[in-house]
Amino acid sequence: MNEYEFTLKFSLPISEFRASDYVEKLYENGCDDALIGVGAKGYIALDFIREAGSAYAAVASAITDVKNVIPDATLIEATPDFVGLTDAAKILGCSRQNIRNIIVKGAPRSPLPVYEGTPSIWHLADILIWLREEKTYAIDDSLLEIAKTNMNLNIARSWQRLELKLQEDIKALVI
């Protein structure tokens, strides 16, 4: 069993309940390994440290636990996944400038951003895999596993929003 740290962010159903009304129920129904944030109206975030046989098992069981208490909650994002250079540096325990130099000097083989702009955004898993394989950095297996799992969940979440009739056409365009 490994320990996985991750955050799940949910949109709450429109109801008479406030996010704070769910905190005790979540704790009692499997989310006692999470810090629960209820700061923004209509949203709830749970920061988990969960033991499981795999990152997928940890995240899937956490989502199931939340959905058992709040069936109409909608997963917005699973983190860590989307990161800027500052986020990546913090996760890796180094300076932003160091990560910037590594990625910029690693071009054109460095990971492609999900969003190119100010700031650019990457999938953390892409950065970790590249650092491990191309730069021979020692990357924690649990961190890489949770980053991959969350990337896959976030991509699947976005993909489900695509019109069914366009999925195959778009798939052919981007592959």
Structure confidence at residue 109 (pLDDT): 84
- Tokens for 43? 């949203």
On the question of a cis peptide bond just before residue 119, with omega within 30 degrees of 0, the verdict is: yes
Of the candidates 123, 161, 158, 165, the one whose C-alpha atom is nearest the C-alpha of residue 144 is 123
Residue 164 pLDDT: 80
The residues pairing with 6 across neighbouring beta strands, listed in sequence order, are 48
Residues of the chain with pLDDT below 50 are none
pLDDT of residue 24: 92
Burial letters for 30-50: b for 16+ Cβ neighbours within 10 Å, e otherwise? bbebbebeeeeeebbbbebeb
Residue reference for tokens 């649990």 = 142
Q: What is the pLDDT of residue 144?
A: 97
Beta bridge partners of 74: 11
What is the tens place of the pLDDT at every residue in 113-162? Answer: 999 999 999 999 999 999 999 888 899 999 999 999 999 999 999 887 87
Domain boundaries, the chain: 2-79+149-164, 82-139
When the candidates are 1.10.3470, 1.20.120, 1.10.10, 2.40.128, the CATH number that belongs to 82-139 is 1.10.10
For position 18, what pLDDT does the model report? Answer: 76
**Predicted local distance difference test score (pLDDT) of residue 134:** 87
CATH superfamily, with its number, for domain 2-79+149-164 = ACT-like. Chain A, domain 2 (3.30.70.1150)
